[in-house]
Structure formats: structure tokens, C-alpha cells
């Protein structure tokens, strides 16, 4: 079934027509550059039936711009977010730009995000350790993901520091994953990290992964932690553990969905920690903030 025409498809058709070059010749030129694309795929791209989404396809688009004698970025800048398929197509999803600042686009160019919407978030547990100096020491992220298509082999994590200029955390693989491409923007305080699975998943297959983010000193005093979800999460748990010698005077859990914030006061437990749990949350922001005396 044909999808609605896109700016990318229209621009590609017009460029091919203006250049007067056949699909077969374009295929050959791309193969010579080490980025083979079939005639059928090129036809789908110009008709709007599909769009380049994988990292290898995006590289091919850059070469395609050269073959068609276009300015660099003339085509790739017109690509929208990857379209979800299968069961993922029925889930609500929002763009990266609705949850993260504009500089994130500069960091995403080196990372393959094409599989992001092909993964369902079954369970997500974030545990944050706050030290006696009131700074964030470590974040541990444990999650269960389910593949909605064959071949899914990675998950992409995005982190933003509270204060740009603060040292970015170091991502450490703990269980069932390894670190892939890491892209950072120190000035904007953003990092994007690929967590690569031991093997590609089959459709319907689940995987349990765990990774940690260790914060090198110096760090500013921590006052909040927030999880941003561009896809729904079946079960979402945030846990903040404070050092017994540095307990906050007040903790508030909040959610932000469709621009509306809903706050709720939390009480520290006997171990000096707080947590917030939600089922079927997102898209939106889910966080805990606290105050110090």
C-alpha cells in the first residue's frame, strides 16, 4: 500500500528527472561507491512507498546526492523520522525533537536509530545513586525489550546533563549488551550511545539488558532525574537512593504528558530512598525532583 508522498520522494523524483539518468545507472554509480542499492529500492524511495532509514541507507543517500549533482544534504535533510511497522505502527510515538533540544540532531547523525521504533518497552527500571556530597554517582538501567520485527540488534540511549559543561557520564555495559557507537556534544551536554545485543532478535523475542552510567567528578549538586519516553513503556520504575548522611528535605514525583505536569509528593522510606512506578506510560516525561536544606 502506497504511503503519502513525502518531500524526500518528491525531491528525489525531480532530481532524477532533471539529471536524465536511469535507475540502472544510479544503481551502478552507487555500487561503485560501495553503497549498493537495488533498482526496486530506488523506485520505492522516489514513489514514497518507503524511505531510507538504516545507517547504510543514509550513507547511500549522501552518495546519491553526488550522483544527482545535488548540494550535500539536499535529500537527507528532507527525511522524516523512521516509520514504524507491524504492531509498532499501532503505538503512539513522538519525534526526538519533542523531548530533546535541537543540538541532539548533530549527535544522532553518527548513530543508527532506525530500529528504535521496532522495539517495545516491556519494562524499564532506572536506579540512581546520590552520594554524600549530593551529587549523582551512578545510574543503573535495567530493561526488558521486545522486537516487533526480525533483525533488531540494538537500542539507543540518550543522556543530557543538567548543566552543559559538566563532564558527561561514561556508559558501561553490564548484562546482555556491548557498547557500540558513542556520539557526544560536549557543549550541549548531550551523549547518544548504542547498546548492541549479543545477536539480532527475531520478531516477538524479548531481551533483558542492563547498563550503567558512571559520572566522573566534578559534578554539580543533583536536584532531579528524568526519564523521557518517546514510545510507551508497559512498566516504568524510577528509584532514587540517597546516602544516609545527605537526605533531601522534599521529593516530588511528576509526569509531563501533552504539556501538562502532574506532581505528587513522595516520602523517603526507611532506607533513604524514593521511587515512582507507572504502567502503560508515555510518550512523555517521568521524573523525580528533590530539594536540599
Domains and CATH numbers, the chain: 7-80 (1.10.260), 96-291 (2.60.40)
Query: Quick one: pLDDT at residue 88?
Result: 46
Question: What is the per-residue pLDDT for 135?
Answer: 95
Q: What confidence score (pLDDT) does residue 55 get?
A: 66
Closest CA to 126 of 251, 283, 273, 260: 273
In whole angstroms, how large is the CA radius of gyration of the chain? 22
CA distances from 81 to 27, 37, 66, 84, 116 (A): 25, 20, 23, 9, 10
Mean pLDDT by 10 residues, the chain (293 residues): 61 92 92 86 83 77 90 78 49 75 79 82 96 96 93 91 86 95 88 94 94 93 94 95 97 91 94 95 94 95
Tell me how crowded residue 134 is: count the other CB atoms within 10 A of its CB: 19
At residue 80, the pLDDT reads 58
Q: Tell me how far apart the alpha carbons of residues 36 and 55 are, in angstroms, rounded to a whole number.
A: 13
pTM: 0.69
DSSP labels for 133-159?
TS-EEEEEEEEEEEESSTTEEEEEEEE
Cell numbers linked to 225: 532525574
CA–CA dist 269, 116 (Å, integer): 35
Burial 71-93 (b: 16+ CB within 10 A, else e): eeebbbebbebbebeeebeeeeb
Amino acid at each position: 500500500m502506497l504511503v503519502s508522498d513525502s518531500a524526500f520522494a518528491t525531491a528525489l523524483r525531480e532530481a532524477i528527472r532533471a539529471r536524465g539518468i536511469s535507475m540502472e545507472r544510479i544503481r551502478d554509480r552507487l555500487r561503485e561507491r560501495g553503497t549498493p542499492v537495488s533498482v526496486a529500492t530506488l523506485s520505492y524511495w522516489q514513489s514514497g512507498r518507503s524511505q531510507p532509514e538504516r545507517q547504510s541507507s543514509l550513507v547511500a543517500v549522501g552518495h546519491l546526492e553526488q550522483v544527482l549533482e545535488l548540494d550535500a544534504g539536499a535529500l537527507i535533510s528532507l527525511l522524516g523520522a523512521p516509520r514504524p511497522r507491524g504492531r509498532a505502527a499501532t503505538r503512539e510515538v513522538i519525534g526526538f525533537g519533542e523531548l530533546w533540544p535541537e543540538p541532539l540532531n548533530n549527535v544522532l547523525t553518527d548513530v543508527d536509530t532506525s530500529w528504535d521504533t521496532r522495539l517495545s518497552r516491556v519494562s524499564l527500571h532506572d536506579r540512581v545513586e546520590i552520594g554524600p556530597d549530593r551529587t549523582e554517582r551512578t545510574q543503573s538501567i535495567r530493561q526488558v525489550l521486545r522486537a516487533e520485527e526480525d533483525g533488531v540488534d540494538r537500542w539507543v540511549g540518550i543522556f543530557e546533563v543538567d548543566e552543559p559543561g559538566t563532564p558527561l557520564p561514561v556508559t558501561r555495559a553490564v548484562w546482555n549488551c556491548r557498547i557500540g557507537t558513542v556520539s557526544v556534544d560536549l557543549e550541549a551536554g548531550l551523549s547518544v550511545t548504542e547498546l548492541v545485543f549479543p545477536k539480532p532478535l527475531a520478531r516477538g523475542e524479548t531481551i533483558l539488558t542492563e547498563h550503567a552510567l558512571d559520572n566522573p567528578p566534578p559534578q554539580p549538586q543533583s536536584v532531579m532525574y528524568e526519564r523521557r519516553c518517546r514510545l510507551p513503556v508497559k512498566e516504568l520504575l524510577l528509584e532514587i537512593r540517597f546516602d544516609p548522611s545527605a537526605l533531601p528535605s522534599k521529593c516530588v514525583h511528576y509526569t509531563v504528558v501533552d504539556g501538562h505536569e502532574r506532581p505528587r509528593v513522595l516520602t523517603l522510606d526507611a532506607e533513604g530512598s524514593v521511587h515512582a512506578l507507572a504502567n502503560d506510560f508515555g510518550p512523555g516525561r517521568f521524573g523525580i525532583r528533590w530539594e536540599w536544606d
